[in-house]
Structure 1
Amino acid sequence: MDTMKICRTHPTRTEPACTILALCLVLVSCSSDPDPPVQDMGTQEDVSSSVDFSTQDDLSTSEDLGTSEDLSDLEDLPDPDPSVLDQTLDALRQDFEAERLRIANETESGWPLATEQGYLVVTDSTEFTHIAGDFDGWQGQALTQDTGFRWAVISEGRAYKFLRIQDETQSNWAADIWSRAYGWDENGPISYLRSSIASEAHRERFFQIGTQTVSRRTVRVWVPSGEPTALIYAHDGQNLFEPDAINGGWRLNESAPEGLMIVGVDNTPERFQDYTHTTDNATGSSVGGGADAYLAMIKDQVRPLIAQHYGEPAKVGMMGSSLGGLVSLYAALTQTSDYDFVASLSGTAGWGSIDAQNQTIIDLFEAAAKPEIRIYIDSGGFGDCADSDGDGIEDDGDGTDNYCENKQLEAVLLNKGFVAGVDFWHWHEPGAPHNESAWADRVFRPLAAFLE
């Protein structure tokens, strides 16, 4: 942002805005009289000819102002309610972390917070000294130091960033990591006032969503430009919309059809635990089995939050890849009535039999009655499929990208009564690798099936 700078005096020249500011300061400081200047009301004759000074008789006929006893009753009136700004600042001083989180997740605007005076922004970082944005032509407004945090009230604008001035020629810029609406520009992450982009498709987020048993995480939302007509929950949320995501991410912001809202639930270091229905020894030790708690967290925490802020369309689905695909398939069996559709891209359908002898999702579908839900599965890779260890799962050949396990699952689902092209879809992308870039290239397929 080489065009963005703070207004200040340069050794060899003065910025125009600084000249005006300096002139104003000189005019104020030149007066030795501490009282404010009195407006010139003209001569006595001028005043007497323009203002009707009432007689004593006139005054005696004016409205009865009441006795001193009546006036004393005013002392018992409650103080006016403090403003949203004052209340918020007081709450931040009492418990900054709790109040910041409450505003981020529970208020309509999130951060920046809409107040009577403008939009309140806060930071607990000591690095930043100013905030700049469209609201001030990216010139910079000083942050006010408070008890453990800094704040400013800014006017309506589109984008903003925090700023640290290093010297006359160098400044550091950073997005507000707590802003509800956010995105990227040519210089990296940037923060938005939610009200300024409400009519556009954009990203929003909520923070520290979880339970006592499921780790807290960020929930990201792709908000369509119009009224949402369908909603799909997707796992590995930090890989869905962000240009700095691993392998370029899913780029769902580019492929999302009009009217589709996408809620991305971030993963955590407990990904193996959250996304699997049983344990396996895939990592060298037994891990997994927390899918029920994770899916309950989405149902009881995430979905009410999304409904509170955006409402919930009639059509709701779930989608994921790899282990995220596995937990989506598990939801089709255990939360069938909560979703209309699930999609599994390169789903780890053999989990439970990789280095253990537990039930796989293939086994669970085979044992269950046909669930009334629509299902999409796919894979890349290829190879020969085999069950050399006799555990019933064809995962012992040289197939890659879970190709063999998903072919086996396809056969089970068709045998259960699913009908291809009606309530079941299977796609094979020969040779496609097991990564986000490959899923981004074909995610339009499950989205199209969902919206049919």
Structure 2
Amino acid sequence: MRALALLALLSLATPALAQPAEAGEVIRLDPIGSEQLEARPISIYLPPGYDTGMETYPVIYAMDGQNLFEPGYSYAGVEWGLDEEMDRLIAEGRIRPAIIVGIWNTPARAREYAPRQVFDTFSEASRSRALEAWGGLPVSDIFLTFLAEDLKPYIDRNYRTRPGPDATALMGSSMGGLISFYGLTRYPETFGSAAGLSTHWPIYADACHQDPAVADAWREQALLAWAEYLDTTHLDPQTHRIWFDHGSINLDSLYPPYQSAIDAIMAEQGFIGSANYRSTLYEGADHNEAAWHARLADPLTFLLGVEAAANPASRMPQ
């Protein structure tokens, strides 16, 4: 009888345990652009309960939008799984619900994501190598103007957002991580946080794959350019939040000396030791969507995590 009673209890409990967590929704807007930028689709993740409530939400603007949610559109058919990861972390109570705006890239991706103010300090010979490959000068400042002055106001008008910088973040991988950090420095009163996964500090990588002397010279030039540029920016370690990470194999194997130098620069600006700055090495991690998916929970909890609730200055607010 006790065995039968136990089986009955288990049969009652099983359906509840087996029910999937409530899922968010991914929608796609018609292509949006500007007079100076090619129009591109925008994919938007709306968290569970968005359609039935009146809550307002933080927003993360994420680069390479076609790689985030749907494998049919992503590079090599592998996506970040960003929507599923958001659903899981929300259901587990580890992050606050948020809207994700995925901005698709275009054939001009390198030009849109390469930081113009940094690139302009490179030598003429170095710039020429990149310009020949890219087909023109970087248009990152134009891209960021579109993002901050066209796209963000559109999202704020049409969705229930919290529009302040303390609830607005940028996020991306590789050069998408580069433009996310650059965007924070260009619009520090619009965006309060940035997360760069495998941030592509060299800007133009081809030169780094040559002989060690060429790679060393390029790195020295790039880091000097970054140091000069960051000395002109006005980030606040008390209010701005920054996540950097990188792996250790293939393209990511180039990044450790760059990231160490950037960390030293940010230390001079008061970020090292702050809860608002994180720089992480993932040993054995590659430079691809699968690797970024594997560690996606870490930057998301850094940006949206509920564990920081006791320290309002170190988080995006509820």
- Fold conserved between structures, TM > 0.5: yes
- Using a 3 Å threshold, how does the CA distance of structure 1 residues 305 and 267 change in structure 2: closer, same or farther? same
Write out aligned runs for 1:21-36 (5 A). Answer: none
Of residues 248, 261, 270, the one that matches 2:99 is 261
In the TM superposition, residue 311 of structure 1 has moved relative to its aligned partner by: 2.5
In the TM superposition, residue 208 of structure 1 has moved relative to its aligned partner by: 1.8
1:246 equivalent in structure 2 = 75
AA matched with 2:64 = D
Any conservation in 1 of the 2:194–2:243 contact (CA below 8 Å)? yes
Using the alignment, how far apart are the partners of 1:408 and 1:330 within structure 2? 16
The reply on whether 1:213 has 2:213 as its aligned counterpart is: no
Write out aligned runs for 1:42-53 (5 A). Answer: none
Q: Number of paired residues?
A: 240
In the TM superposition, residue 330 of structure 1 has moved relative to its aligned partner by: 0.6
In the TM superposition, residue 417 of structure 1 has moved relative to its aligned partner by: 0.5
In the TM superposition, residue 447 of structure 1 has moved relative to its aligned partner by: 1.0
In the TM superposition, residue 438 of structure 1 has moved relative to its aligned partner by: 0.5
SS of structure 2 residue aligned to 1:420 = coil
1:290 equivalent in structure 2 = 139
Using the alignment, how far apart are the partners of 1:352 and 1:246 within structure 2? 20
Any conservation in 2 of the 1:274–1:288 contact (CA below 8 Å)? no
1:271 equivalent in structure 2 = 109
In the TM superposition, residue 444 of structure 1 has moved relative to its aligned partner by: 1.2
The reply on whether 1:317 has 2:169 as its aligned counterpart is: yes
1:182 equivalent in structure 2 = none
Q: Which has the higher strand share?
A: 1
2:61 equivalent in structure 1 = 233
Structure 1, unpaired ranges of 5+: 1-198, 384-397
Using the alignment, how far apart are the partners of 1:255 and 1:276 within structure 2? 28
SS of structure 2 residue aligned to 1:297 = helix
Any conservation in 1 of the 2:28–2:44 contact (CA below 8 Å)? yes
In the TM superposition, residue 246 of structure 1 has moved relative to its aligned partner by: 2.2
Of residues 314, 326, 341, the one that matches 2:193 is 341
Q: Which has the higher helix share?
A: 2
Q: Of the two structures, which has the highest relative contact order with CA contacts closer than 8 Å and spacing of 6 or more?
A: 2
In the TM superposition, residue 308 of structure 1 has moved relative to its aligned partner by: 2.1
Structure 2, unpaired ranges of 5+: 1-21, 50-54, 91-96, 120-126, 208-217, 309-318
In the TM superposition, residue 401 of structure 1 has moved relative to its aligned partner by: 5.1
2:124 equivalent in structure 1 = none
Using the alignment, how far apart are the partners of 1:367 and 1:352 within structure 2? 22
Of 207-216 and 358-367, the range deviating more from structure 2? 358-367
Any conservation in 2 of the 1:350–1:361 contact (CA below 8 Å)? no
Any conservation in 2 of the 1:351–1:361 contact (CA below 8 Å)? no
Using the alignment, how far apart are the partners of 2:151 and 2:33 within structure 1? 8
AA matched with 1:364 = Y
Using the alignment, how far apart are the partners of 2:227 and 2:69 within structure 1? 31
Using the alignment, how far apart are the partners of 2:48 and 2:249 within structure 1? 39
AA matched with 1:380 = G
AA matched with 1:203 = V
Using the alignment, how far apart are the partners of 1:288 and 1:437 within structure 2? 31
Using the alignment, how far apart are the partners of 1:295 and 1:242 within structure 2? 25
Using the alignment, how far apart are the partners of 1:228 and 1:323 within structure 2? 30
Of residues 244, 251, 255, the one that matches 1:377 is 244
1:299 equivalent in structure 2 = 148
1:415 equivalent in structure 2 = 268
SS of structure 1 residue aligned to 2:272 = coil
Using the alignment, how far apart are the partners of 2:287 and 2:201 within structure 1? 14
In the TM superposition, residue 303 of structure 1 has moved relative to its aligned partner by: 1.1
1:97 equivalent in structure 2 = none
Deviations 1:175-208 (A, max 9, x none): xxxxxxxxxxxxxxxxxxxxxxxx9511111112
Any conservation in 2 of the 1:379–1:428 contact (CA below 8 Å)? yes
- Using a 3 Å threshold, how does the CA distance of structure 1 residues 354 and 404 change in structure 2: closer, same or farther? farther
In the TM superposition, residue 412 of structure 1 has moved relative to its aligned partner by: 1.2
AA matched with 1:274 = E
In the TM superposition, residue 345 of structure 1 has moved relative to its aligned partner by: 0.6
2:285 equivalent in structure 1 = 432
Write out aligned runs for 1:15-94 (5 A). Answer: none
- Using a 3 Å threshold, how does the CA distance of structure 1 residues 283 and 322 change in structure 2: closer, same or farther? farther
- Give the structure with higher Rg (CA): 1
Write out aligned runs for 1:165-180 (5 A). Answer: none
- Using a 3 Å threshold, how does the CA distance of structure 1 residues 401 and 305 change in structure 2: closer, same or farther? farther
SS of structure 2 residue aligned to 1:220 = strand
Deviations 1:335-394 (A, max 9, x none): 0011121011111112269757576444422454444511110000169xxxxxxxxxxx
Any conservation in 2 of the 1:208–1:217 contact (CA below 8 Å)? yes
Deviations 1:279-329 (A, max 9, x none): 443475464421110011111221122112213224110001111111111
AA matched with 1:269 = P
Using the alignment, how far apart are the partners of 1:422 and 1:381 within structure 2? 24
Using the alignment, how far apart are the partners of 1:221 and 1:349 within structure 2? 28
2:7 equivalent in structure 1 = none
1:326 equivalent in structure 2 = 178
Any conservation in 2 of the 1:345–1:378 contact (CA below 8 Å)? yes
Using the alignment, how far apart are the partners of 2:245 and 2:227 within structure 1? 14
